[in-house]
Structure 1
Amino acid sequence: MTPRVFLSERNETFSQMLTYYLQKEGWEVTSFSNDTSSLLNVADCPNLWILDADGEEWVNIMRKIQSNSTQIPIILTSEHENTINRVWGFELGCADFIVKPFMPKELVFRARKILNPHDHGSVTETATKVTRLQNYHLDLQRRMILVDKLTVDLTSKEFDLLCLFARHKGIALSREQILTSVWGENYFGSDRVVDDLIRRVRRKLTTLEIDTVYGYGYRIVS
């Protein structure tokens, strides 16, 4: 199935260039030039959103995308190295954040890691396609978690966290280790996003036992 990418980019020339490179990957790309057109299309469900975070409505657009489906990953782009926006974006659940100017190939590489995580060394990579985590089953190929044959709706970061825990059952992981594994080595911001992510996972997976290692990090009960 051909991945569908929605691209929100205000600069028309840059949008055309990014569209060209994304389409070269064989992806179906739909571009939007302003917040209004982006908002009108959030009800659709692409495989990836690339969202311009410089507009006035980007937070609203992001929330509407996630209210429609929390499993759609979002890459935020911005002309400014704004720490507040970066941290806010990750706290809201974006999969990646990239600051302009950037080469189109860099965006393609980051998008490819999200759309094809098993081919590029992501934290979900493993020899098996389904792994058990307490009473839950992680379907690594479809990036889904199931309990009693029912699917739990998770964001991309929430799923990556669970995959990290599945690979390190019973081992205490520091906040820094979780940041590096889930957000990447280039993440810049507060480690508070880890605590927020843990809270969201605990709220959704109410029977999952995650120990807090005070002053250090977290450990999944094996």
Structure 2
Amino acid sequence: MQKTILIVEDEDILREIVKDYLLNEGYEVLEAADGKEALTIFEEHEVHLIILDIMLPELDGWSVCRRIRKSSNVPIIMLTARVDEDDTLLGFELGADDYVTKPYSPPILLARAKRLIESRYSSAENESKEDTLSSSGIYVHFPSRTVTVDGETITLTHTEFEILTYLMQNQGIIITREQLIIKIWGYEFAGDDRTVNSHIRNLRHKLGHKATCIVTVVRAGYKFEGNV
């Protein structure tokens, strides 16, 4: 099925350039020039990925991301200025999956989008020989990408889902932050350890009393320990 990408960017020239790249790759493209328009389009169409600028008229990118995350785990790439490192971390805390810094190369943005779409809509099933994964009351169903904790469904972003399943599939093994970055975002990712820490913190919060299953190993990384 053809995937639809929503571009939320108030600079017309930038939006058109990115749109042309995406169309040439066979994606269907929707456009919004401000935050309110973006939310309206998202509610009215099936969207598989959002490219979301932070600085927008009407409603900023953080607010858009926060509202979308209340009802959807659609992959979100945020666009941020290189100097605004705190903006990047805030975006991750609100549920963004990746970010690209401005000024950016459209081919790099396209590569990030393709990676997220392929990971979100195809590779999760291919990476696991089984449709399900479970440990310590945490149950993962790969085809629907749903996660339950003691029978209660929790909503994870694409990146949180990928981190959780990667740790669970390697239960008892220490996974370094570098391994997580390469696995989730790829070699070209420009973030640092704080990016990983932010996603782990969000994931633990959503796991509630099962958060202790994700153990921090000082100066090494993280590991999933069952039966906690």
Any unmatched runs of 5+ in structure 1? none
**Correspondences of 1:8-27 after superposition (within 5 Å):** 8-27=8-27
- Assess if the C-alpha contact under 8 Å between 2:80 and 2:88 holds in 1: no
- Equivalent position of 1:99 in the other structure: 101
Q: Percent identity?
A: 29
Deviation at residue 117 of structure 1 after TM alignment? 1.4
- 3-state SS of paired residue (2:43): coil
- Assess if the C-alpha contact under 8 Å between 2:5 and 2:30 holds in 1: yes
CA distance in 1 between partners of 2:216 and 2:65 (Å): 30
Deviation at residue 80 of structure 1 after TM alignment? 4.1
- Equivalent position of 2:159 in the other structure: 157
- 3-state SS of paired residue (1:172): coil
Give the aligned length.
220
> What's the TM-score once normalised by structure 1's chain length?
0.80
CA distance in 2 between partners of 1:87 and 1:184 (Å): 18
Letter in 2 for 1:217: G
- Assess if the C-alpha contact under 8 Å between 2:93 and 2:202 holds in 1: no
- Assess if the C-alpha contact under 8 Å between 2:125 and 2:142 holds in 1: yes
Distance change in 2, residues 1:63/1:118 (3 Å): closer
Distance change in 2, residues 1:77/1:194 (3 Å): closer
Higher helix share: 2
CA distance in 2 between partners of 1:13 and 1:156 (Å): 29
Distance change in 2, residues 1:145/1:25 (3 Å): farther
- Equivalent position of 2:30 in the other structure: 30
CA distance in 2 between partners of 1:174 and 1:162 (Å): 14
Distance change in 2, residues 1:23/1:127 (3 Å): same
CA distance in 2 between partners of 1:77 and 1:118 (Å): 20
> What's the TM-score once normalised by structure 2's chain length?
0.79
Deviations 1:26-69, CA, capped at 9 Å, x for gaps: 32211012234224334345111111123361111111111231
CA distance in 2 between partners of 1:195 and 1:20 (Å): 35
Asked if residue 82 in structure 1 is aligned to residue 84 in structure 2, the reply is yes
- Equivalent position of 1:55 in the other structure: 56
CA distance in 1 between partners of 2:200 and 2:80 (Å): 27
RMSD after superposition: 3.0
